[in-house]
Structure 1
Amino acid sequence: MNDDTVRLATIGRIFRRRWRLLAALTLLGALVGYGISLLTPPKYTTSTSVLLPGAWEERELLTQAQLATSSAVVDRAAAKLDWSGVGGKELRGRVSAKAANANVVKISGTADTPERAQRLSDEVARQFIAFGERIAGDSTASGPESLRKKVEQTNRRITELANATDPGKTVESVQARTRLEELRTALEEAMTKLNESDPAANKASMVVMGAAAKPTTEAPPTRTQLVGGGALLFFLSAVIGHLAATRASRRLRTEAEIATALGSTLLGSVDVPGERPGEKPQDQSPRARIRRLLDLDTRWDVPPLRTSGGEESRRIRYGRVCARIRDRLPGSRRLLVVVPEGDEVARRAAGQLVVEAEGDPSPSSSSRGYPMLRVVDVSVHRPMVPDRGQESGVLVVLSAGSWTAAELAGIAGACADGRHEVVGIVLAGAVRARPAGPADPPPDAGDPPDDGTLAFAVHSHGTGGSP
């Protein structure tokens, strides 16, 4: 797992080196969004506001909003609309209501045409008011109305009692008539207060605040939103996928990790000029062309190429590596150079090492001369190294950040199976060639070529044998 922090430079490198792939995936996402918009018919939404006069608490308004979308209201609206194939169950998913400020319930309807959306909102609002009035009427008939009838009967009874009282002017008759009139007055005041506090009388008169407006635009998500959302989703998925892949990468990048995986010592690092366009033979198969078109044949997570120090600097590095090999194995005349198959930078570096070893400055000295190098490519999936012949060991040449610990351990195990000891490791890194100037004269005919050709390297994919 790579725990490096994701920096803006990393995202910028993704944009620079994978912009074709990102553009292709963004276009694909836009096409997917467009296809979804073709499969999903357009929707139109409009709203109707219903005013509830009187004093209402917040929870009462929420109850009224739920009542507006209940099956009792929506089913009646569906029966009135009588749309073919559309019943109350379907309409319940197209109707919504919410309690707004100032005792207003806002009812919204969604349909496939503006006209239907308008009719749906208006009809649901009418059925909501009718249902509310019906509930208010039922509560009035069963509650306060019956009480009013009882009060009227009591008033008539008081009148009868007052008429039946002795019309004389005795103290008792006057007191009785006075008490009956006080009772009648108290009942009338109680009924007045009851009428004023009756919630059904105050809250049943709901009104529609105008007809629903005919919608002129589609309800979200529109076709434009689906296309833009699909393009954005695919673009972000591609970027996040690149970041996740590099964080989950198990490729070894440091010298210590590589040396530990191979169980040997690092002898040095060498530079290889990066290939210029057109130098490397290109596969012309359709799949290879698509990979080149989308920049999939080059890695994006490698750091930018460093500027080369020049031909002389590179030759000094190769000479120092060969000198360390000579000092590590004095008197040795043969060495096997193992390169992971597919590591082009390492293969070119190994070829340059062969050229440097061929140009031994002291070939006559058996103890000071550079050993002869033989290069073999080894598959990291099924590593196989030739059996030991006259070689004194194995030199592994590879580039950093290309192989995992398991793959390098497999190469080390293959060397052990072939009875070879890994005597050293050489790391190869690609560099950007410095433009030629007056201080950098072109190499003469005797100098090794700048591109590190393998003209002198011997490649072997065999399973064993001596050189």
Structure 2
Amino acid sequence: MSDDTIRLVTLGRIFRGRWRLLAVLTVVGALAGYGTSVVFPPRYTASVSVLLPGQWEERELLTQVDIATSSSVVDLAAAKLGRPDVSGEELRERVTAQAADGNIITISGTADTPARAQRLADQVAQQFVGFARRIAGGSTDPDAATGTDALRQKVVETDRRITDLAAAADPGRTVEGAQARTSLEKLRTSLEEAMTKLAEADRASDKAGMVVMDAAARPTGAAPPTRGQLIAAGALLFFLLAVVGHLVAARMNRRLRTEADIAAALGSAVLGTVDVPGEPRAHRSEKRGPWARIRRLLGADTPWNVPIQQGPGDEAGMLIRYRRVCVRLRDRLPAPRRLLVVVPDGDEIARRAAGQLAAEAGSDLSPSSSSRGFPLLRVVEVSVDRPIVPDRDTESGALVVLSAGSWTAEELAGLAEACADGGHEVVGTVVADPVGARPTRPADDPPDTGAPALAVRGHAAGGAL
């Protein structure tokens, strides 16, 4: 796993190198959100308020909220609505209630059309009010209210009459008078108990007198999540998943980037780093087929996490790096000899660097006694899946050229073993880095004639020399 810190520059590389893939995935996410909105059509919510007169405690209000959404109330509303295609259980999921300030319960109904949502909210509120009145024994009959007031008036008159009779009775002179006063007091007590029960019934009736404050207003917009929200959420989700996927892949990437790791995997020292003018197609895979064409179309066939560094400034500075590598290679060899330049198959940056390196080594055709001349190099591409290096013949050593961040330690170890099987000692490694395009040579600047054409490539599978 890579230990590189995820910074804004990393996100910038993802956007720059994978913008086509990110755009396609964002569109796919938007289409997925649209498909979700088709499967789950928009919903509309209407609300109605019910006023509860009297004094109510908080737990009593919560009880009324539970009653408003209970199956007893919702099933009655479903029967009134007359929708056999909607079950009572499904309808209960569309009804909600909430206690608000001021002894008000807000009942909300959700349906697939504004009209149905309005009817559902109104019907549930009506059934809730009626159900609460039936529980409390309340009645909306005005004659019943008038009869209750008349009864209360009769009780008051009777109590007054009892007082008069008790005063007129013989004040304790006879046994019959005492018994009469005792009976009158018992009657008074019974009337007081009856008045108390009547007052309690009146308070219960007041609580049962719930009022629907107004009809539910027809909703003008869909309840969240709307179709637009689902489309935006799908696009954003797919975009974020794509970015996170790139970051996770970069964290889990086991390809070697540093010179020390590359040298340890190949078992040879790194002779230097050379620059190759970076072009988008230089990193692209040469594979064919429909999947490769799709990857090329989406820009996924080029590594996004290979930074394009700034070059030395001109062509002469690049050639100096190649010549210095040739000098180090010459100094490591006891005598001038031929070497194979092994390039991993598919590493276009390394192939171009190897060709330029071979051309630079071949440009030294008249070695002096002090320099002994550069070794002759021949480039061969070797598959990293099944590496086979040509057997030792005129060449007596191998120089591995590769780009950083493209190969794992296991793949490079396989290349080193293939070189050993072919009888070639890995005398060194050269790392190729892509750099920005070099500036155009002025018209009056004569071209450098010291670099001939690139060396001829050999067979990737180790053909005849």
More deviation, 214-223/288-297: 288-297
Q: Which amino acid aligns with 2:51?
A: L
Q: Give the structure 2 partner of residue 144 of structure 1.
A: none
Q: Once the 2 structures are TM-superposed, how far is the Cα of residue 177 of structure 1 from its aligned partner?
A: 6.1
Change (3 A) 1:101 1:414: farther
* Pair 1:72–1:203, CA change in 2 (3 A): same
SS of corresponding position for 2:458 = coil
Per-residue CA distance 1:303-328 (angstroms, 9 max, x = gap): 13313332222222111111111111
Which segments of 5 or more consecutive residues in structure 2 lack a partner in the other structure?
139-153
1:447 equivalent in structure 2 = 450
Q: Is the counterpart of residue 303 in structure 1 residue 307 in structure 2?
A: yes
| 2:385 match | 381
Q: 1:295 deviation in Å?
A: 2.0
1:16-415 alignment to 2 at 5 Å? 16-137=16-137, 167-170=169-172, 200-275=204-279, 290-360=294-364, 362-363=366-367, 368-415=372-419
* Whole-angstrom CA distance in 2 between matches of 1:426 and 1:440: 34
Deviations 1:107-153 (A, max 9, x none): 11112222221111111111112222222229xxxxxxxxxxxxx99
Aligned to 1:141: none
CA RMSD for the aligned pairs? 3.6
Per-residue deviation at 1:293?
3.6
What SS does the corresponding residue of 1:416 show, helix, strand or coil?
A: helix
Q: In the superposition, relative to structure 1, how do residues 53 and 374 fare at CA in structure 2: closer, same or farther (>3 Å)?
A: same
TM-aligned CA deviation for residue 86 of structure 1: 2.0
Asked whether the equivalents of residues 357 and 372 of structure 1 are also in contact (C-alpha less than 8 Å), the reply is yes
1:461 aligned residue:
460
Shift, 1:429, TM fit? 1.0
After alignment, is 361-370 or 111-120 more displaced?
A: 361-370
Report if aligned partners of 2:363, 2:450 keep a CA contact under 8 Å in 1: no
Q: Structure 2 counterpart of 1:462, which letter? A: A
In the alignment, residue 108 of structure 1 is paired with which amino acid? S
- For normalisation by structure 2, the TM-score amounts to 0.84
**1:49 touches 1:105 (CA, 8 Å); kept in 2?**
yes
Offset from partner CA, 1:156-198 (integer Å, 9 cap, x none): 9xx99x9899953335767766666666556655655555566
CA contact (8 A) 1:332 1:392 kept: no
Contact 2:50/2:211 (8 A) holds in 1: yes
Question: Residues 233-283 of structure 1: CA distance to partner in whole angstroms, max 9, x if unpaired?
Answer: 222222222222212211111111111111211111111122487999999
Q: Is the 8 A contact 2:285 2:346 kept in 1?
A: no
Provide the rounded CA distance (Å) in 2 between the counterparts of 1:178 and 1:461. 129
Equivalence for 2:429: 425
SS of equivalent residue, structure 1 residue 98: strand
Query: AA paired with 1:56?
Result: W
Return closer, same or farther for 1:127/1:413 CA change in 2, 3 Å cut-off: same
In structure 2, what residue type is equivalent to 1:74? V
Contact 1:346 1:399 (C-alpha < 8 Å) held by counterparts: yes
SS at match of 2:305: coil
Gaps in structure 1 of 5+ consecutive residues:
139-151
Conserved? CA contact 2:111–2:117, under 8 Å: yes
Question: 1: CA distance between counterparts of 2:411 and 2:199?
Answer: 89
**For the residues of structure 1 that align with 2:168 and 2:231, how far apart are their CA atoms?**
95
Residue type at the aligned position of 2:403: S
Kept in 2, the 8 Å contact 1:330–1:367? The answer is no
Using the TM superposition, name which of 295-304 and 245-254 deviates more. 295-304
Deviation at 1:400, TM superposition (A): 0.7
CA contact (8 A) 2:363 2:451 kept: no
8 A Cα contact 1:331 1:366, kept in partner: no
How many residue pairs get matched?
Answer: 447
CA distance in 2, matches of 1:393, 1:422: 6
Deviation at 1:284, TM superposition (A): 9.3
Structure 2 counterpart of 1:405, which letter?
A
2:143 counterpart residue number: none
Query: Which amino acid in structure 1 is aligned with residue 265 of structure 2?
Result: A
SS in structure 1 of the partner of residue 395 of structure 2: coil
Summarize the Cα distance change of 1:16–1:276 in structure 2 as closer, same or farther, 3 Å threshold: closer
**Native 8 Å contact 2:279 2:437 kept in 1:** no
TM-score by length of 1: 0.84
The answer (yes or no) to whether the contact 2:33–2:235 under 8 Å persists in 1 is: yes
| Equivalent position of 2:146 in the other structure | none
